[in-house]
Structure 1
C-alpha cells in the first residue's frame, strides 16, 4: 500500500467498522454509537498512520483529536468526568509530549501545558489555599502564553 493512501485507509476502515457495529445492534457497543467515538476513531487512525508509516508530523493532531474524543465521551458517559478548561490544556500538553518523543520538538510547551492543565483540574474543588493562585491563573494565563510565545519567537538558537 502506498504511504499517501494509508491514512485514508485507516480512517475508512475505522468508520466502516463503526457503522457495521451500529447496524448489527450489538448491545455492548450501543453506548459507543456517539459522535465522540468518531473522533476517537479518527484520532487513533492518525496515530496508527504516524507510528506505522513513520510520518511523525501526524502525532500531534492524532493525540489532540483522540483526546477530545475521549473527553467528550467521558462527559456524556460518566458523572464524575470533569469539564474544566484545564482538560484542554492537558490534552494539548500531552500531544506536545508525544510529538517530542519522536521529533524532539515541543518539550517545554508540553511540560508547561500539562502542568497547568493538571493544576487546574486538581485544584478546582480544593481548599481556599489554592483559590488565590487559581484565580490569578484564570485571569492571567493568556498573558503568560503571550510572553512565552514571544520568548520562543525571539530566543537565541
Structure 2
C-alpha cells in the first residue's frame, strides 16, 4: 500500500491554481464532472506522479479553514482481499466500482472516525505506482 495523493477542496479554482503553480506544481490533467466536483491533478516538476488533487464544486458546501481536505487516496495491492478483511477490523467499506468498467482497475471508499473520506485504488497490472498524466487523457 502507498499514499497516492491528497485531495483538497478549493473555493476558487483559478486562485488555487495560481497559488499552487506559483509554489512549483504543474497541472497533470483534469477530470471534470465527477460526483465530488471538477478535479485538477497536480504534480511537482520531474515527478511523473500526481501528488495533489484540487476538488472544485461550486454547488457544494462552503470551504472553510479546516474543511479543505476532500479525501486521501491510497493504492492497495488486492482490493478483494482488503474489502473482505476490513469489516472484521471494524471498518465499513463501500462496494468497489471500476472507473473505466474493467475488472482490474477498482476503487472503493472508507470513512475514518472523524469523517475523512479515503479512496482505495487498485491499479491494473503493470500500472505505475502513482497517477500519471496518461491516466488523465481521453
TM over 0.5: no
Greater per-residue helix proportion: 1
TM-score w.r.t. length of structure 1:
0.24
Greater per-residue strand proportion: 2
Q: Which has the higher contact order (CA 8 A, sep 6+)?
A: 2
TM-score w.r.t. length of structure 2:
0.27
Structure with max Cα Rg: 1
